[in-house]
Structure 1
Amino acid sequence: MTSADSGFPRRSLLGGVAGLGVATALPTAAARAAPASAETAPLGRHPSNWPDPEPYGLADTRPDLWPREDNSFVLPLELRPRDENLGRVWIRDTYVNCFVVDGRPVYVATGTTRSPGLDGPAPWNDGIFVWVSPSLEGPWKLADTTGIRPGAEKGKVWSPEFAGENRPGRTVVAPWQEYWHDDRFGKRGEAWAPEVHYFRGKWYIVACTGDHSRKVGSFMLVSEGGVEGPYRIVEGNIEKPFGDPVTGGPDFIEPGAYFHIDGSLYSEGQDAWLVLHNDLYARFRDDMEDIVPTTNLPKFQQKPYAPEPYLEGAYVFKYEGRYYLVQAAWDRTSDNPDGTRRYAYDKPGPGRREHQYDAVVAVSDTFEGPYSERWTAGVGAGHNNFFVDHHGRPWSTFFLNPSAGHWSDPSRRADAAVPGVVQLEWTGPAGNRLYVKRRSLGRTGNG
């Protein structure tokens, strides 16, 4: 993350792409739409903050906070052979950003993908793919890795299978990232939630190894060329992920093998920080080869829910001078004593079921905090990132989580796990909130 200051049947959906010209159609509930024109007129006044559900921790489920036909679209990413049957790229943890390189905008996209023949990204996947484009609308092409690995699958910039490229003084795949096998899962090892960053003239990828890896945690790669690579792992990750072992994760993870996941990068000026889930962050060393050593990683000052559920995908985004801490939380349903339905960011428990994987956000005047109370910024948009396009307009990614809840329903699952982007709206210096762009109804207040 960088500072922002600088229902249609499947075949009918895909048949509509030519008419749109720029985008794959969205799933039923999110609908379909081309992106807003670059010449879209700005709002004369800032929209208002919505009153939050009370008590703190209830989820805002209003349809206006969904990605819809008027505010979002699915990126038309170049297909790989594995994508042909589905007709689009299957992806989770969608990440998109825009960087200015040599005076021109470069858009990048990546995320958690799955290997051919598997239903998801575990117990193994085959690495990290990157797409690039001159604009948000496209054309989105796989990064041209053919000059680095002739004959290999185009766009794959890093994979555990590249361990054979390790050389003395240059590690591409650390031993703890390599594939391994056991009797329970067979082949194991995967990379999840990658992000691509351009910082001080170099390309970086921050990602984490998944639950089936020898060690589970966050790591960073640095390119020795362009966005296509070749990449190597930074020195601080040759032996282990960032930070120290912590408790957590599934019971099949070996003791001492679980570290902090969902690593992200925030940069401002010449400084950069690693952002982790569990409220943590760390400053990178000046050479970007590791984080600055510390006995205990510092924590963001947040206003937690009571009780605090498990949060994922922490991301910091600076916009109009304020810092926005974006996290993913499951909105779980249960029954109130009067029989009405409760929607809240609760911990798992009897009678509670996952409903939507939301993006919750808090704002602060400083990177460290204290951050405000969180609000629901996007329904179903969890494990996302915020970014600005080269016109300065703010956007969020989304992917529609098929692992549980609304998008796991058999009638919807085929339309989940998409590379989606949705416009955001800012409620101005008085409101200081970013929401998924809501319908024009109710645009009063905060001038």
Structure 2
Amino acid sequence: MTGFESGLRIDRRSVLIGATGAVGLAGLPASGAVAATAVTPVRHHPPSWPDLEPYGLADTRLDLWPREDNSFILPLELRPRDEERGQVWIRDTYVNCFVVDDRPIYVATGTSRVPGLDKAAPWNDGVFVWVSPSLRGPWRLVDTTGIRPGAEKGKVWSPEFTAENRQGRTVVAPWQEYWYDDRFGKRGQVWAPELHYVRGTWYIVACMGDHSRKVGSFMLVSEGGIEGPYRLVEGNLEKPFGDPVPGGPPVVEPGAYHHIDGGLFAEDDTAWLVLHNDHYARFRDDMEDIVPTTNLPAFRQTPYSPEPYLEGAQVFKHDGRYYLLHAAWNRSSAAADGSTRYAYDPPGPGRTQYQYDAILAVSDSFEGPYSRRWTAGVGAGHNNIFTDRGGSLWATFFRNPNAGYWADPARIADAAVPGVVRLERAGDEGSRLYIQRRA
């Protein structure tokens, strides 16, 4: 979050030049004088851990887990659907901090589910947004009652809002509407929303999920404040961003699968759409569509061999470097010596989904090349990284309830939560980011 995206800037490098020291040097006699130079003090960061070999192994040390000493669950205001659980059910937790009218505003959103379903499929009912003056709260649902009196508070967009379409103003496109079939009944859902504040305007980037008529990323723009009202950008009136791509689960109709889980990265006068399957695109200056291209470019990465399916891509910039964040399933299997092997392997015989991890790579440019990846957080996949009002780095997490460690019946009640965890910088230059490790 840098440049014209009006958030708390990540680049907080301070250069201290010893002015009084330079004066003192100038006063030395000529025989003892030395050249006065500006000195940037060396920052001391804890050491990074050596890369695991072979490349692609997952680091499962408890230091890289969100724990009570480095994380907490956001006390989001409950909706009626949350009261029985006593906590908001959420996937793909997204949190950020922006400066609006010289004041910080924290925002939170994510993938929701409807009462009566145990997951966000085969349908859900839209995007909810919470706001707070601080990370610790109080977290309140954004006030949408002035836009939709009597409707559920905090819901800023939904496939339900088709009645708000007008000539020249589309809120819900036909491909985003609910639909029905004999197998699943009601179908269509929105996944993984993100909120961004760009040049004084609020945007939501989100994805229509696997049960939608067309599956892929889209963007909404607010015609008011953070509460909306939102409309669809021009580039998504007929379809998601980009062209159809191969793949997708069997529940997706042929030709309906596009690039999913889109995010936004803004720097200087340029904004980019970052996509789940390794691709990116530049937005037009008016932010109404991406710049047309025959084939979307791909980040230059250091892939695993074989490369698994990666999800939830995000780019952020910190201290002059670009970080590419992915979610990857850490799968356990039996090693040759009989021990347990944890790695970012594709599915295969004898491999069991263990944790949904956050993996990072770093580069000196947005496009890459990016370094070898490392495990930044165990069980913290499909998240985002942000800075709080004081400049400290945080990541979100949600504890994936679909499979693995958090799907265990003994733990499922603590899954799908709006969590945040502190990050730390490590290595000689502080370019390695981890979940804050134990001292």
> What TM-score, normalized by structure 2, do the two folds share?
0.91
Q: Aligned equivalents of 2:269 and 2:84: distance in 1? A: 44
Whether contact under 8 Å (2:380, 2:397) holds in the other structure is: yes
Q: Aligned equivalents of 1:202 and 1:116: distance in 2? A: 32
Whether contact under 8 Å (2:47, 2:428) holds in the other structure is: no
CA deviation map 1:49-93 (0-9, x unaligned) = 111221000000000000011100000000001000000100000
Q: Aligned equivalents of 1:143 and 1:5: distance in 2? A: 29
What residue ranges of structure 1 are gaps of 5+ in the alignment?
A: 7-42, 441-447
Aligned alpha-carbon RMSD (Å): 1.2
Residue of 6, 10, 18 corresponding to 1:4: 10
Whether contact under 8 Å (1:330, 1:356) holds in the other structure is: yes
What residue ranges of structure 2 are gaps of 5+ in the alignment?
A: 3-8, 13-41
Structure 2 residue 235 is matched with structure 1 residue 229: no
Quote the residue 1:412 is aligned against. 411
Q: Aligned equivalents of 1:328 and 1:111: distance in 2? A: 15
How far off its partner does 1:248 sit?
1.0
How far off its partner does 1:45 sit?
2.8
Whether contact under 8 Å (1:200, 1:270) holds in the other structure is: no
Q: Aligned equivalents of 2:272 and 2:397: distance in 1? A: 24
Quote the residue 1:49 is aligned against. 48
Q: How does 1:160-239 map to 2 (within 5 A)?
A: 160-239=159-238
Whether contact under 8 Å (2:203, 2:220) holds in the other structure is: yes
Tell which structure's C-alpha radius of gyration is larger: 2
Quote the residue 2:71 is aligned against. 72
Which region of structure 1 is more displaced relative to structure 2, 102-111 or 45-54?
A: 45-54
How far off its partner does 1:430 sit?
2.1
Quote the residue 2:92 is aligned against. 93
Q: Aligned equivalents of 2:426 and 2:278: distance in 1? A: 26
Q: Aligned equivalents of 1:106 and 1:350: distance in 2? A: 47
CA deviation map 1:362-421 (0-9, x unaligned) = 000111100000000000000000000010000000000010000000000011000000
Q: Aligned equivalents of 1:205 and 1:343: distance in 2? A: 36
CA deviation map 1:168-188 (0-9, x unaligned) = 000000100000000000000
Q: Which amino acid aligns with 2:93?
A: T
Whether contact under 8 Å (2:205, 2:264) holds in the other structure is: yes
How far off its partner does 1:428 sit?
5.5
Quote the residue 2:360 is aligned against. 361
How far off its partner does 1:4 sit?
2.3
Q: Aligned equivalents of 1:125 and 1:357: distance in 2? A: 23
Whether contact under 8 Å (1:48, 1:427) holds in the other structure is: yes
Q: Aligned equivalents of 2:428 and 2:311: distance in 1? A: 28
Q: How does 1:120-131 map to 2 (within 5 A)?
A: 120-131=119-130
Whether contact under 8 Å (1:381, 1:397) holds in the other structure is: yes
Quote the residue 2:150 is aligned against. 151
Quote the residue 2:18 is aligned against. none
Q: Aligned equivalents of 1:177 and 1:429: distance in 2? A: 48
How far off its partner does 1:429 sit?
5.7
Q: Which amino acid aligns with 1:161?
A: E
Quote the residue 2:118 is aligned against. 119
Quote the residue 2:388 is aligned against. 389
Whether contact under 8 Å (2:98, 2:105) holds in the other structure is: yes
Q: Aligned equivalents of 1:313 and 1:252: distance in 2? A: 20
Q: Which amino acid aligns with 1:114?
A: R
SS at match of 2:429: helix
How far off its partner does 1:339 sit?
1.1
Q: Which amino acid aligns with 2:103?
A: R
Quote the residue 2:34 is aligned against. none
Whether contact under 8 Å (2:48, 2:427) holds in the other structure is: no
How many residues are aligned here? 404
How far off its partner does 1:298 sit?
0.8
> What TM-score, normalized by structure 1, do the two folds share?
0.89
SS at match of 1:430: coil
Quote the residue 2:37 is aligned against. none
